């Protein structure tokens, strides 16, 4: 049986370690074993796994027990690497998507094992302390892949274009629930059950579940028509793109592999691409941006035309990079827990670089001046005042970040978080206001658009007079105290 990649790598690391401990170069080891220098080099790099005779000869010459040399056990020096090599997480990492091979990665680690393994140990410890699970890394890898590709995938766009043409779907908005249901049932043998999840109370927060044995698509009866259309379009994405490894529910209960996360994203991308036709949408957005004044009804008109939810509409803004050259953008989704009055950013994407408004896992309070949060607070107030839980709010803001003075034009929609009760959701698009953006988006300087100074979290904000502050600026105060201490030490030491 051929050796696995892990076996080759671990065997090579051991040979290299014991050779270097004896201060032998390749030529000396070659002379003692009769194995060529080039072949030894490939063994140590994990590219080759030698035959039995060569393995025994190496064990004898290096004075290492044969059973240990071929075992998966590593010495203390390489123990953290061994933990990483044996983990499911490392095996599932999509290194190939980023043009990285496992062997070059191991070569880097093996070049200075003491320092690199200390770094690996620190990462593993941080993951344990902050309770980071494999799925955190998978979703982070997916975001990195999206950002690397500017969140635009021509191959999926083409598949969606072919699908629309084949099934004669409308390109100018209005892909109906009936059309999607008909294709799923006739072309893929699926059965759509509109209220299929309603009898299962513990699953009330899920939007859909697919049974691969019966090919039944069980929908949550609380979904509106736009949400149902998206779930069916996504199911078409799994079928049309032939994505086998996939989640069976609309939300992840447990992540089994990175492939599952990636395929879920691809199916969602396909769904948005058939619901909101790229060519038509680019024309509409061009006209929207060409207006001299901001008009929030423009977004409402787009949602009505494409029968799209705010999430679908904002996902389709991925055309900004390809068709408008706007690549310094961020997207974020914030959840407002109404009972606890707490805010959580559960999705974010940054193109070109990491922008100022970003998620933090430190338990700090996001800036209440963010459009995403102020809009959610306003929505809650309006819902209480009117007694109408189904309201939506649209807003725009020019946000200037305190730390960098960078300014973003932010557009957001806040809405109820159906079907999950007790929460509202906001989706936000932010575009860095540079010269190119100002040429593309004509209404950027409309006097009616408010302009505010903002920060990332209250704990890190030096705007002491902020009336919206939700927590004291503890991090800022600690930083200032440290500066005072450093200044006193300089005075005392003269350094």
Instruction: Locate 318 and state its tokens.
Output: 């991925």
Q: Please say if the pLDDT value at position 103 is more than 90.
A: no
Instruction: Locate 448 and state its tokens.
Output: 């009616």
Q: Please say if the pLDDT value at position 306 is more than 60.
A: yes
Mean per-residue pLDDT of the chain: 88
Confidence of residue 54 (pLDDT cuts 50, 70, 90): very high
What are the phi and psi torsion angles at 38 (to 5°)? -65, -40
The fourth-level CATH superfamily of domain 5-132 is lambda repressor-like DNA-binding domains (1.10.260.40)
Confidence of residue 101 (pLDDT cuts 50, 70, 90): low
- H/E stretch holding 47 reads none
What pTM value is reported for the model? Answer: 0.81
The whole-number pLDDT of residue 419 equals 82
Instruction: Report the distance separating Cα 234 and Cα 238, nearest Å.
Output: 7
Q: Which residue has the higher pLDDT, 121 or 335?
A: 335
Measured N-to-C along each axis, helices 154-167 and 278-289 cross at an angle, to the nearest 10 degrees, of: 110
Domain boundaries, the chain: 5-132, 151-275, 322-479
Q: Please say if the pLDDT value at position 145 is more than 70.
A: yes
First to last CA, the chain: 65
What are 185-232's pLDDT values in tens digits? 999 999 999 999 999 999 988 999 999 999 999 999 999 999 999 999
Torsion angle in degrees (nearest 10) through CA of 284, 287, 289, 295: -90
What are the phi and psi torsion angles at 399 (to 5°)? -100, 120
Residue 362 DSSP symbol: S
Instruction: Locate 420 and state its tokens.
Output: 């999950």
Instruction: Report the distance separating Cα 323 and Cα 60, nearest Å.
Output: 64
Instruction: Locate 150 and state its tokens.
Output: 């500017």
Q: Please say if the pLDDT value at position 89 is more than 60.
A: no
The whole-number pLDDT of residue 152 equals 93
Rama region for 99: left / alpha / beta (φ>0; ψ in -120 to 50; rest)? left
CB 274 within 8 A of CB 183: no
Instruction: Report the distance separating Cα 44 and Cα 131, nearest Å.
Output: 35
**Cα–Cα nearest to 160, from 310, 269, 283, 262:** 269
Q: Please say if the pLDDT value at position 128 is more than 90.
A: no
Instruction: Report the distance separating Cα 174 and Cα 308, nearest Å.
Output: 9
In the CATH scheme, what is the code of domain 151-275? 1.10.10.2910
CB 268 within 8 A of CB 153: no
Share of the chain above pLDDT 90, in %: 60
Lowest-confidence pick of 75-89, 439-453, 481-495:
75-89
Q: Please say if the pLDDT value at position 284 is more than 70.
A: yes
Instruction: Report the distance separating Cα 89 and Cα 48, nearest Å.
Output: 24
CB neighbours of residue 493 within 10 Å: 7
What are the phi and psi torsion angles at 159 (to 5°)? -60, -40
Tell me whether strands 407-416 and 216-219 are parallel, antiparallel or unpaired. Answer: unpaired
Tell me whether strands 191-193 and 216-219 are parallel, antiparallel or unpaired. Answer: parallel
Q: Stretch 153-172: mean pLDDT, rounded?
A: 95
Q: Stretch 388-406: mean pLDDT, rounded?
A: 92
The whole-number pLDDT of residue 11 equals 87
Q: Hey, CA dihedral for 133, 135, 139, 141, is it positive or negative?
A: positive
**Cα–Cα nearest to 356, from 393, 304, 404, 312:** 404
What are the phi and psi torsion angles at 313 (to 5°)? -60, -45
Instruction: Report the distance separating Cα 251 and Cα 9, nearest Å.
Output: 37
Lowest-confidence pick of 51-65, 74-88, 213-227:
74-88
- Mean pLDDT is highest, among 303-307, 352-356, 468-472, for 303-307
Q: Which residue has the higher pLDDT, 401 or 495?
A: 401
DSSP 303-319: HHHHT--HHHHHHGGGH
């Amino acid at each position: 049986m051929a050796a696995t990649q892990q076996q080759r790598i671990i065997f090579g690391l051991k040979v290299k370690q014991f050779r270097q401990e004896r201060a032998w170069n390749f030529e000396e080891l070659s002379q003692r074993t009769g194995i060529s220098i080039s072949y030894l080099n490939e063994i140590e790099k994990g590219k080759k796994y030698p035959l039995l005779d060569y393995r025994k000869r190496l064990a004898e010459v290096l004075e290492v027990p044969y059973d240990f040399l071929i075992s998966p056990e590593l010495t203390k020096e390489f123990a953290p690497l061994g933990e990483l090599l044996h983990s499911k997480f490392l095996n599932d990492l999509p290194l190939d998507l980023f043009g990285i091979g496992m062997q070059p990665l191991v070569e880097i680690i093996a070049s200075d094992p003491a320092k690199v393994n200390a770094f690996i140990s620190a990462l593993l410890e941080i993951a344990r302390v902050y309770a980071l699970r494999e799925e955190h890394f998978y979703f982070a890898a997916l975001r990195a892949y999206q950002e690397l590709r500017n969140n635009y995938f021509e191959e999926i766009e083409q598949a969606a274009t072919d699908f629309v043409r084949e099934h004669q779907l409308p390109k100018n908005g209005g892909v109906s629930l009936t059309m999607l249901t008909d294709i799923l049932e006739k072309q893929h043998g699926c059965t759509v059950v509109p209220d299929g999840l309603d009898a299962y109370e513990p699953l009330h927060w899920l939007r859909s579940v697919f049974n691969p044995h019966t090919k039944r698509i069980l929908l949550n009866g609380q979904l509106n028509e736009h949400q149902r259309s998206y779930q069916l379009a996504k199911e078409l994405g799994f079928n049309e793109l032939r994505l086998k490894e996939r989640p069976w529910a609309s939300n992840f209960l447990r992540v089994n592999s990175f492939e599952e996360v990636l395929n879920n994203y691809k199916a969602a991308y396909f769904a948005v691409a058939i619901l909101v036709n790229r060519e038509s949408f680019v024309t509409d957005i061009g006209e929207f941006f060409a207006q001299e004044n901001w008009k929030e009804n423009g977004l409402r008109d787009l949602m009505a035309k494409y029968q799209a939810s705010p999430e679908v509409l904002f996902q389709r803004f991925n055309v900004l990079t390809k068709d408008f050259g706007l690549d310094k953008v961020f997207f974020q989704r914030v959840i407002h827990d109404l009972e606890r009055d707490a805010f959580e950013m559960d999705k974010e994407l940054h193109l070109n670089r990491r922008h100022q408004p970003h998620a933090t896992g430190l338990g700090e309070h996001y800036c209440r001046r963010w459009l995403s949060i102020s809009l959610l607070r306003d929505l809650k107030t309006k819902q209480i005042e009117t007694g109408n839980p189904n309201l939506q709010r649209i807003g725009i803001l020019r946000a200037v970040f305190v730390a960098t003075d960078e300014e973003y034009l932010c557009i957001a929609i806040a809405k109820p978080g159906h079907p999950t009760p007790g929460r509202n959701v906001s989706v936000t698009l932010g575009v860095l206001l540079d010269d190119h953006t100002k040429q593309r988006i004509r209404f950027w300087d409309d006097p009616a658009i408010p302009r505010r100074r903002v920060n990332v979290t209250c704990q890190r904000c030096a705007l002491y007079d902020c009336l919206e502050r939700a927590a004291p600026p503890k991090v800022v105060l600690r930083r200032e105290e440290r500066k005072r201490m450093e200044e006193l030490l300089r005075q005392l030491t003269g350094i």
